[in-house]
């Protein structure tokens, strides 16, 4: 039988609520449940230390540093010591839970020693282990050339290009070691133009004023085909003014624009029907005050054949690797602005050619319209803009 008592009243006449009911209810909750995660009653995470390289490992690639991390506490000391040498420098994380060593070397034994404490300050189990890096290969993969060059100011269409001195077997491993950092958010993608050439371009033209840094941390990376990465490479460049050129083969003009405004129209003569200037986005990428041009250099007529030429022409700006230039040709001034008589280049007058040569930036887009023959990836040293964006993205080894 359950009996109840009426509430007792104090001297003031107010009802006393029995505190025992609240206490019993709280005890019932705590007694019937385990500790609630995140509450003061939660069990602490057990303390542990771990190194990124397993104990006793052999043939370790020196491409990545040693990383020591702590769970359930903090690191108090770390040394990574190569045999017969001083310990490596290292960088601790501000949280005290991660430490990263300086770069490793080939064919070296390292000893990793680390200590730490748990969240209550009690010492935990330390690390004391060794590993050995792989022997230095006889041949390494090196960067043969870069574009743009370090410190260069370029136009809004300039892609990044890294050319290696040998074919890359493991494209993904190498691509993971290359980073592009921009001063403003820029969507872009890598694309392997060949086994020797890795490019990167933005989805749309660069924003003027963008600062770009490229880091190729190739040292020690297993690049495939028996090659390991050699020296690291880093370079930076700046995107300059927004300058664009539009060549219309039917209107026989080159229209120059800057910051969205047309600044000048140049009469021009483009490729005759049998040698048409190709349509599509070209990129200005080389300048010559005087350039020797031979028809056979681009697959045109050889010596003794009709149409053969061998000339030195001034103020030549290369816009593709298929023999296409914007250059001065005083012999075609009467046809410039009226008809197309060249072997595929855009001919302009001496005055206009000098002006264009001084005005154009390396990396400015030169879009040719009106031609029935399109520019293709096979035609250009800088053919990135001939590839549709989604197809370009798929050219990344990490896509």
The residues annotated with a catalytic role in the active site are: 327, 345
Answer yes or no: are the C-beta atoms of 308 and 322 closer than 8 Å.
no
Of 397, 377, 395, nearest to 191 (Cα)? 395
Could you tell me which of 44, 60, 51, 43 has the C-alpha nearest to residue 125? 51
Annotate 371-389 with DSSP letters as a single string.
-SSB--TTT-SS-GGGS-H
3-class secondary structure, 27: helix
Picking from 67, 56, 71, the residue whose alpha carbon sits closest to that of residue 111 is 56
Q: What is the dihedral of CA 90, 93, 99, 102, to 10 degrees?
A: -30
CB burial of residue 17 (10 Å; 0-12, 13-18, 19+): exposed
Alpha-carbon gap, residue 214 to 212, rounded angstroms: 7
Q: How far apart are CA 110 and CA 252, in angstroms?
A: 69
């Amino acid at each position: 039988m359950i009996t109840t008592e009426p509430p007792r009243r104090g001297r003031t006449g107010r009802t006393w609520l029995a505190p025992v009911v609240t206490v019993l209810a709280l005890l019932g909750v705590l007694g019937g449940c385990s500790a609630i995660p995140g509450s003061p009653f939660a069990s602490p995470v057990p303390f542990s230390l771990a190194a990124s390289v397993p104990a006793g490992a052999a043939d370790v690639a020196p491409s990545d540093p040693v990383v020591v991390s702590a769970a359930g506490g903090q690191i108090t000391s770390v040394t990574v010591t190569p045999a017969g040498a001083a310990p490596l420098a290292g960088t601790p994380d501000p949280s005290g839970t991660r430490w990263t060593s300086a770069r490793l070397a080939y064919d070296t034994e390292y000893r990793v020693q680390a200590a730490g404490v748990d969240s209550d300050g009690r010492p935990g189990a330390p690390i004391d282990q060794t590993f050995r890096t792989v022997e230095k290969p006889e041949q390494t993969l090196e960067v043969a050339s870069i574009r743009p060059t370090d410190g260069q100011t370029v136009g809004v269409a300039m892609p990044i290009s890294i050319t290696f001195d040998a074919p890359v077997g493991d494209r993904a491993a190498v691509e993971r070691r290359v980073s592009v950092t921009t001063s403003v958010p820029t969507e872009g993608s890598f694309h392997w133009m060949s086994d020797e050439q890795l490019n990167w371009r933005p989805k749309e033209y660069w924003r003027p004023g963008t600062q770009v840094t490229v880091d190729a941390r190739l040292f020690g990376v297993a690049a495939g085909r028996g090659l390991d990465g050699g020296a690291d490479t880093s370079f930076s460049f700046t995107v300059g003014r927004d300058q664009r050129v539009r060549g219309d083969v039917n209107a026989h003009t080159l229209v120059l624009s800057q910051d969205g405004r047309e600044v000048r129209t140049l009469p021009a003569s483009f490729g005759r029907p049998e040698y048409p200037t190709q349509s599509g986005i070209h990129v200005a990428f080389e300048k010559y005050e005087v350039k020797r041009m031979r028809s056979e250099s681009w697959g045109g007529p050889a010596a003794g054949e009709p149409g053969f030429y061998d000339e030195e022409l001034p103020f030549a700006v290369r816009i593709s690797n298929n023999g296409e230039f914007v250059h001065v040709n005083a012999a075609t001034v009467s046809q410039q602005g009226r008809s197309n008589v060249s072997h595929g280049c855009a001919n302009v007058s001496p005055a206009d050619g000098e002006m264009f040569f001084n005005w154009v930036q390396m990396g400015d887009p030169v879009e040719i319209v009106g031609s029935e023959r399109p520019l293709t990836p096979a035609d250009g040293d800088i053919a990135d803009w001939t590839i549709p964006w989604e197809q370009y993205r798929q050219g990344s080894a990490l896509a």
